[in-house]
Amino acid sequence: MNISQLFSLSDKTGLVTGGASGIGYSMAEGLLEAGAKLIICGRGRHGSLEAASNKLGQIGPEVVGLNCDVSSEENVKQLVKSLNEMSINIDILVNNAGVSWGHPTESLTLEKWKMVIDINLTGTFLMCREVITSFMLPRGTGGSIINISSVAGYKGGEYGVAAYNSSKAGVIGMTKQLAIEYASNGIRVNAIAPSWFPSYMSRYFTNEESPMRKTLENQNPMGRLGEPWELKGVVVFLASNASSYITGAVIPVDGGLMSQ
């Protein structure tokens, strides 16, 4: 296969959770630009889902935005039902939806802990289970699942982020388990571990005005934060046949942070 065929996603359909904003939006853009049909889902607050779908629709013709809170089993089942009704098959699942809550662990409330675990960890489980059982297994043509973990899954931090770091480490474990469990079904499961990227979620740290931003830049071997477009290449690589022999891998996209 020639190299542009290897990376091509034409004839594929990708679903990106949390695809309306932040790094999810960039990855959605990447899949579209590589030729995929695209579904984005999110909690759709403030009309963000519609705005994002319209904007992405200018890149590729087929973009569908669907409301879904991934931590709700009912929502996830409804999402899959809607996709089935529209005769949409999912070949690529990007589990990007995520939240964080910064607070010293000794006084982190159970409510905030659960909010993060439910979306980042349970949400990833529910999406994987439903997409595997509804699309990837019955069709027998396999698929590619890309879980968004974080360098926080590998490293601790001085700020209290116990729930976030636990959830992201959990996602790494789950990635390896699903990779092994479904390798013989042609379903590949990999993860991306980004470091700091500017987004709504990380705004307190990454905004231009944030006093923390300089520190984060200085801590990074490349001396800067990641830019959202820098996740496009890796997500297309993992989604496409270019990575057909890769499963269970976790790829850091971190300016070298994990290696120092």
Partner 1 sequence: MKKLLDLFSLSGKAAFVTGGAKGLGTCINEGLLEAGVSSLFFCGRGRHGSIEDEEKRLKEKFSNAQIKGFRCDISIEEQVKEIVKELKNFIKYLDILICNAGVTWAAPTSEQTMQSWSKVIDTNLTGSFLIIRDFSRELIKHNPNGGKIILISSLLALQGTATIPQIGYTASKAALLGLTRQLAVEWAPQIRVNSIVPSFFEGIDSMAKMFTTEGSPVREALLEMIPLRKFVNPSDLKAAICYLGSEASASITGQYLVLDGGISVK
Applying CB under 8 A, does 154 fall inside the site for partner 1?
yes
Task: Enumerate residues 6+ apart whose C-beta is below 8 A from 212.
Answer: 204, 205, 206
Cβ at position 208, least distance to partner 1 in Å: 27
Applying CB under 8 A, does 116 fall inside the site for partner 1?
no
Cβ at position 40, least distance to partner 1 in Å: 24
Binding residue (CB under 8 A) for partner 1 from 45, 81, 114, 224: 114
CB closer to partner 1, 29 vs 118: 118
Cβ at position 156, least distance to partner 1 in Å: 3
DSSP 157: -
Per-residue tokens: 206? 């990454």
Q: What are phi and psi of 96, to 5 degrees?
A: -110, -25
Choices 61-69, 160-168, 216-224, 251-259; region in contact with partner 1 by CB under 8 A? 160-168
Looking at residues 174 to 203 of the shown chain, list those that interact with partner 1 (rule: CB under 8 A). Answer: 174, 176-184
* Three-state secondary structure call for residue 240: coil
Q: Which of 25, 154, 159, 164 is catalytic?
A: 164
Per-residue tokens: 188? 């590949």
Residue 145 vs residues 15, 93, 103, 250: alpha-carbon distances, Å: 10, 5, 31, 12
Looking at residues 47 to 106 of the shown chain, list those that interact with partner 1 (rule: CB under 8 A). Answer: 73, 104-106
Looking at residues 117 to 136 of the shown chain, list those that interact with partner 1 (rule: CB under 8 A). Answer: 117, 121-122, 125-126, 128-129, 132-133
Residue 46 vs residues 20, 67, 71, 160: alpha-carbon distances, Å: 11, 12, 19, 29
Binding residue (CB under 8 A) for partner 1 from 21, 31, 65, 113: 113
Q: What are phi and psi of 42, to 5 degrees?
A: -170, 180
Pairing of strands 250-253, 37-42: unpaired
Active site residue 164: yes
Choices 19-27, 94-102, 170-178, 228-236; region in contact with partner 1 by CB under 8 A? 170-178
DSSP 91: S
Binding residue (CB under 8 A) for partner 1 from 64, 79, 80, 161: 161
* Three-state secondary structure call for residue 152: helix
Answer whether 153's CB lies under 8 Å from 172's CB.
Answer: yes
Given the rule CB under 8 A, which residues bind partner 1? 73, 104-108, 110, 113-114, 117, 121-122, 125-126, 128-129, 132-133, 137, 152-163, 165-174, 176-184, 248
Active site residues: 164
